[in-house]
Every structure is written in structure tokens, then in C-alpha cells.
């Protein structure tokens, strides 16, 4: 199971130090665009039908990170300058975002 030892905010992205000695730097745009909240990523009912919330148009504030909060021992919650703060990013999701961005 992945664990984060340290998270630091920088002007263009989030730096993460993992317990397996890996270090990641994820830019804010792909991080925000991968928001896992029900409004952004959708949620499924018991029949598997996926529903999305009202799509908000993103602007410059949408990609400005205000704060990072740890959620238990499995995730972080990010608050953005446009008041969007309901996405809980599991450590596994953060690693996936990092791997997909660094593969480009």
C-alpha cells in the first residue's frame, strides 16, 4: 500500500515524496482535470448508469491550488481557488496521474 511522506505546493504543481523512495511532481492542470469527485468524474447508480453533475467552466482560478489536506492514511483533499474542494485523491490515483503524465 502506498503512503505519502511529504507533500509540497509549488507555483506550477504538487511535489510528493513517497514511502517507496519515489518522488513525483504533478502539474496542477492534469491534477485538476483528473478530479475524482462525483460532480467531475460522475457517480453510478445501482444499475450502473453514470450521472454527472453540472459541468463548471474552468478558468485560471480552477488551476490555482489553495490548500492540501491529508485524508486518513489513504488520500489527500485539494482545495482550488475557484472554491472547488470535494475531490479526494487516493494515493493510488495520484501515482497513476504521475505515471501517465511522465509517460508523455
The per-residue pLDDT string of the chain (104 residues; one tens digit each, 9 = 90 and over) reads 899 999 999 999 999 999 999 999 999 999 999 999 988 888 888 998 888 777 778 899 999 999 999 999 999 999 999 999 999 999 999 999 999 887 66
Is 59 within a domain? yes
Q: Which pTM does this prediction carry?
A: 0.88
When divided into structural domains, the chain yields a total of 1
Is 25 within a domain? yes
Q: Residue 41: its pLDDT value, please?
A: 84
Q: Which CATH number goes with the domain that contains 78?
A: 3.30.2020.30
CA distance 84 to 96: 22
Cβ burial of 57 (10 Å; 0-12, 13-18, 19+) is: exposed
* Listed residue (75, 77, 35, 42) closest to 58, CA to CA: 35
Is 48 within a domain? no
Is 47 within a domain? no
Q: Residue 101: its pLDDT value, please?
A: 81
Is 97 within a domain? yes
Within 8 A by CB and 6+ apart from 102, the residues are none
Is 95 within a domain? yes
Per the structure, the complete domain to which residue 25 belongs is given by: 4-41+55-102
Is 49 within a domain? no
Q: Residue 44: its pLDDT value, please?
A: 87
Is 20 within a domain? yes
Amino acid at each position: 500500500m502506498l503512503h505519502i511522506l511529504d507533500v509540497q505546493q509549488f507555483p506550477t504543481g504538487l511535489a510528493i515524496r513517497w514511502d517507496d523512495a519515489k518522488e513525483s511532481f504533478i502539474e496542477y492542470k492534469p491534477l485538476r482535470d483528473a478530479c475524482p469527485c462525483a460532480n467531475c468524474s460522475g457517480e453510478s447508480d445501482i444499475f450502473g448508469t453514470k450521472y454527472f453533475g453540472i459541468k463548471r467552466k474552468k478558468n485560471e482560478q480552477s488551476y490555482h491550488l489553495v490548500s492540501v489536506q491529508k485524508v486518513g492514511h489513504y488520500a489527500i483533499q485539494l482545495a482550488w481557488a475557484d472554491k472547488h474542494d470535494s475531490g479526494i485523491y487516493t494515493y493510488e490515483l495520484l501515482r497513476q496521474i504521475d505515471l501517465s503524465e511522465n509517460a508523455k
